[in-house]
Amino acid sequence: MSDEPDRLTRLTWGPAWLEAVGLVRGWMEEAGLATRLDAIGNLVGRRPGRPPAAPALVLGSHLDTVIDAGRFDGVLGVLLGLAAVEEVAAHGLDPSFALEVVAFADEEGVRFPCALTGSRAMAGTLDPAVLGLEDRSGTSLAEALRACGLDPAALAGCARKPGEMLGYLEAHIEQGPVLEHEGAALGLVTAIAGATRLEVVVEGTAGHAGTVPMRLRRDALAAAAEMVLAVERLARGTEGVVATVGRLDVLPGAVNTIPGRVRFTVDLRSADDGLRTRTLDELRASVAAIAERRNLTVRLVTVHEAPAVASEPRLVNALARACARRGLSAPRLTSGAGHDAMAIATIAPVAMLFVRCRGGISHDPAEHATPADIQAALAVLVETISLLSEELP
């Protein structure tokens, strides 16, 4: 299901996303789950516990994609969660806690300049000001919600109450090459790297490409190019940090006009929040120095800030024991990619199970996980639920 005919692009609150939500909701209901769609678009399917209102062990991920995406990122975690709950019922397991499957809205943050939107709304940490953010067409997030039949005025009602969630387990393709390199189908995530996303706006002076001497130019693109290379140089020289400039918009965008305004993004990540903060300070200073030397102005706006998150040891150990029971060796590793688990960690213990992906490729049509590895992940999730049901009252 895609917004584009020739490639997979499923942006949150768009037609393909809404269709996917409806399909998965139907599958949840066929599996006997009671479903609801909250005000931000999080789809929740629930199997009650004993008593029915008992706290829930939550499994899930997201249904939205990047542009020209692969088929597994996010979706795999939602469907594995649903399949695990179906298997629990098929095996006659009857944990006292409830089981929930969640398909979070807008993990990727592609359409609007915010990410983890649905999971942050569920955690109660989403700033209502995001409702005023606009996509490239000028549609606000609030308008996008209303177009899907959702109520932005009910945003506060998305937040879960303390104690409602026993924990959160998210299965996800690794999005990197470590598991394939080590010959392991599955991996246990010990921490998720913190991330900062910036929008950088460089203001110069547009002019005729043939009439303005080079020494008199205030070329915003030339300055931005130098800044982009400074981002790369800084990250290359700092162990434990990665940085990416993923989007660059040039105005006015004519072949014979000196660019007067450039906007670009920076994605900065590290599992060490202190190191990330120090690198960010260096980046701000470097960009400001380039702008001053070139007689331009620059503005940096933080559009996303997520601290590093440690997985909950008890949940990680339960996953490890489940792997051992299934005869699987699962190395422990850090996730450089952000996930909904980061937001949910503010209200509940979290852990993640990585599934090997071919070549470590993700956010690309070549993204692939084998049926055998997916089946192994399903078996481990079911085994983990069984182990936790033995441990928890």
Distance from C-alpha of 34 to C-alpha of 100, rounded to nearest angstrom: 9
Q: Is 350 helix (H, G, I), strand (E, B) or coil?
A: strand
> Taking CA 224 as the corner, what is the angle to CA 220 and CA 226, rounded to the nearest 5 degrees?
125
Distance from C-alpha of 304 to C-alpha of 108, rounded to nearest angstrom: 11
Distance from C-alpha of 361 to C-alpha of 351, rounded to nearest angstrom: 22
Q: What mean pLDDT comes out for the span 245-250? A: 96
- Looking at residue 354, its pLDDT comes to 98
Query: What is the CATH architecture assignment of 194-306?
Result: 2-Layer Sandwich (3.30)
Same fold for the domain at 15-193+308-391 and the one at 194-306? Answer: no
Kindly tell me if the per-residue pLDDT of 281 is higher than 90: yes
Q: What mean pLDDT comes out for the span 245-259? A: 97
**Of 114 and 142, the one with more pLDDT:** 142
- Looking at residue 84, its pLDDT comes to 98
- Looking at residue 15, its pLDDT comes to 97
- Looking at residue 162, its pLDDT comes to 86
Q: Is the pTM of this model over 0.75?
A: yes
The bridge status of strand 34-37 relative to strand 56-62 is unpaired
- Looking at residue 275, its pLDDT comes to 96
Kindly tell me if the per-residue pLDDT of 393 is higher than 70: no
Question: Look-up: residue for tokens 């979290």?
Answer: 350
- Looking at residue 305, its pLDDT comes to 84
Name the CATH code of domain 15-193+308-391 (choices 1.10.10.10, 3.40.50.300, 3.30.70.1290, 3.40.630.10).
3.40.630.10
- As a whole number, the mean pLDDT across the chain is 96
CA atoms within 13 A on the CB side of 231: 20
- Looking at residue 72, its pLDDT comes to 98
pLDDT digits (tens, 9 = 90+) for 39-57: 999 999 999 999 999 999 9
Question: Look-up: residue for tokens 């998720």?
Answer: 192
Amino acid identity for residue 35 in this structure: T
Categorize the per-residue pLDDT at 316 as very low, low, confident or very high, splitting at 50, 70 and 90.
Answer: very high
- Looking at residue 146, its pLDDT comes to 98
- Looking at residue 292, its pLDDT comes to 98
Q: Where are the domains of the chain?
A: 15-193+308-391, 194-306
- CB distance 348 to 167 below 8 Å: yes
Q: Burial of 6 by CB count in 10 Å (0-12 exposed, 13-18 middle, 19+ buried)?
A: exposed
pLDDT digits (tens, 9 = 90+) for 3-32: 999 999 999 999 999 999 999 999 999 999
What percent of the chain has pLDDT above 90? 94
DSSP assignment letter at 177: S
pLDDT digits (tens, 9 = 90+) for 204-224: 999 999 999 999 999 999 999
Q: Percent helix, strand and coil across the chain, each rounded to 5?
A: 35, 25, 40
